[in-house]
Amino acid sequence: MRVTQLMQAYSYLRPSAVRDSTAGRALALETSGGATPAGEAANPHFFSGFLTAPAAAAAALLAVADVAAARYYQPNQWAGIRALLDPVATADGDRLRFESFSGCCGVYARLDVLAPGLDGDDVGHGTTNVDVNLPLRRALAGLGGLDPLHLTLGPEELTVRTFDGEFVEKRVPLPERWLRGFAETQVLAAGFALRAEVPAAEAAAMLRALPPLTRRSDARTTRWVVPAGHTLRPTSRPAPGAVCLPGPERLLTLRTVLRHATTVRVYAPTAPAAADGTAAVAWEVGLPGMRLTLMLSQSASRGFSGEGGVLHDLATGAAAADAERVGELLAWQPRIDVAELSGQAGLSADRVRAALTMLGTSGQIGYDLAEEAYFHRHLPYHVGAAETRNPRLRGARALVANGSVRLDGTLARVGTGDDAHVVRTDETSGQLSCTCFWWAKYRGGRGPCRHVLAVGMVRGTAAAAEATPNAARSNTARSETAR
């Protein structure tokens, strides 16, 4: 995958397709350039073998492709662009993951094909994009029955070419919103908890009651469900114990998958919902040897890319250096053990988590709700470029550099003249609030404003400066005692 300033080029040896072979039907997913343990590869090969539940796998993979080709909010915009974005595939040694975002970046989809879902050679390690074209989507929609389906992820023979000897190349606008979405979804998901587990038939019945998604609907409705035993009781307003379904029409992508499902789990944030009761949500569909996860943003009109959940960790001075140290220890692990990384890197668990957030801004970290653990992927983006993709972070650093932050106990004044704002620290919770328009509009629901970030940076620097002489005095005291 070659990345330029404005365009991204996917180069495939031939189109992905479902083909007939001597062993039956074969699903050949072609790869673009990607990262492997041996370095960058033009068209890496990660797996060859059978899918143990072919019809379910085809439906789930099609769901991931459908999300990449959809735009749920303002669906009439950029119609020619959204169909060209190809899912990201990661081989983790014991599983395959396929991920995508919708064109509006408000829906994240991931299919995890686990070891029981694969029957073939060893799964490799690496990350790439896979070609999902319109003929392939039609073929996936037509797959069914119990016939075996052979899967190859990446070309087995690099001599394969198209009939005219040319590569298949797609050029699309750089999906930077996907990159920011990868960063934000792993932060959000790490704060989710399991709220309900229901039979697939119960979930399907609830989805059948939803109105169809139309070009005019823009998925603007919001509903809630109250878990009650093994059922989900729908309600039109927030209630105690209710789980929000923001833009629930966005869940209709799951309808064709649920007939293969065994169970459905619903995850929601552990933190309180917004004042209007809205919150992001994730639905995880259990399939034979697989899991399909669909995560919805807090409302259809807001994409994951602007949530701002990464900003507090990025504002810490040590995060960049820690990320480099932690990044050297990652090798496409399907499950990242924070405690183990903490010991290997010689960092506290909190600093490791902040480093993982920093790595997440370059698409290197995801979060698996079912396993309550981070996982590693590798996209061709530089970790240090996180600041260029977060204007609030840049603005906060500029305020600090200009000396525009003045601390006064629990208060801080940020800016000068008419642009000055007051940042207040709550003495009970320690939470910061601001008098700026951004804070008044979102109340921290989309991450901190630049003024809050700047105050945190200055206070962090002051605390570090105070800690240094205290540590020196402590060392001196110990030396005197030893004498």
Sign for the pseudo-dihedral over CA of 271, 343, 91, 36: positive
Q: What percent of the chain has pLDDT over 70?
A: 81
- Max CA distance (Å), the chain: 84
Return the higher-pLDDT residue of 2 and 378.
Answer: 378
pLDDT average, residue stretch 264-285:
88
pLDDT at 166 > cutoff 60: no
Measured on CA atoms in the order 67, 124, 378, 160, is the torsion positive or negative? negative
Q: Cite the residue boundaries of each domain of the chain with CATH code 1.10.10.10.
A: 309-388
* Mean pLDDT, rounded, of the chain: 82
Residue 47's pLDDT is what?
A: 95
Please tell me the predicted confidence (pLDDT) of residue 193: 96
Quick one: pLDDT at residue 220? 64
- Highest mean pLDDT of the ranges 232-241, 286-295, 325-334, 395-404: 286-295
Domain 1-176+191-305, what architecture? Box (3.70)
Q: What was the pLDDT predicted at 312?
A: 60
Q: Where in the chain is the domain with CATH 3.70.10.10?
A: 1-176+191-305
- Cα-based distances in Å from 7 to 3, 81, 94, 172: 7, 12, 33, 6
The class that CATH gives domain 309-388 is mainly alpha
Tokens of 424: 């207040």
Q: Quick one: pLDDT at residue 462? A: 63
* pLDDT of 396: 84
Which candidate, 338, 341, 340, 311, places its Cα nearest to that of 325? Answer: 341
pLDDT at site 163: 41
Query: What integer pLDDT is reported at residue 374 of this predicted model?
Result: 94
Model pLDDT for residues 226-251, shown as the tens digit of each residue: 998 889 988 888 888 899 999 888 99
Compute the distance between CA of residue 73 and CA of residue 243 in angstroms, rounded to an integer.
21
Q: How confident is the model at residue 254 (pLDDT cuts 50, 70, 90)?
A: very high
pLDDT at 81: 45
Distances (CA, A) of 256 to 13, 54, 140, 382, 444: 31, 14, 12, 38, 37
- The residue-averaged pLDDT of 265-273 equals 87
**C-alpha count within 13 angstroms, C-beta hemisphere, residue 375:** 28
Q: Provide the 10 A C-beta neighbour count for residue 420.
A: 14
Question: How far, rounded to the nearest angstrom, does the alpha carbon of residue 146 sit from its chain's CA centroid?
Answer: 33
Q: What is the pLDDT confidence band of residue 78, given thresholds at 50, 70 and 90?
A: very low
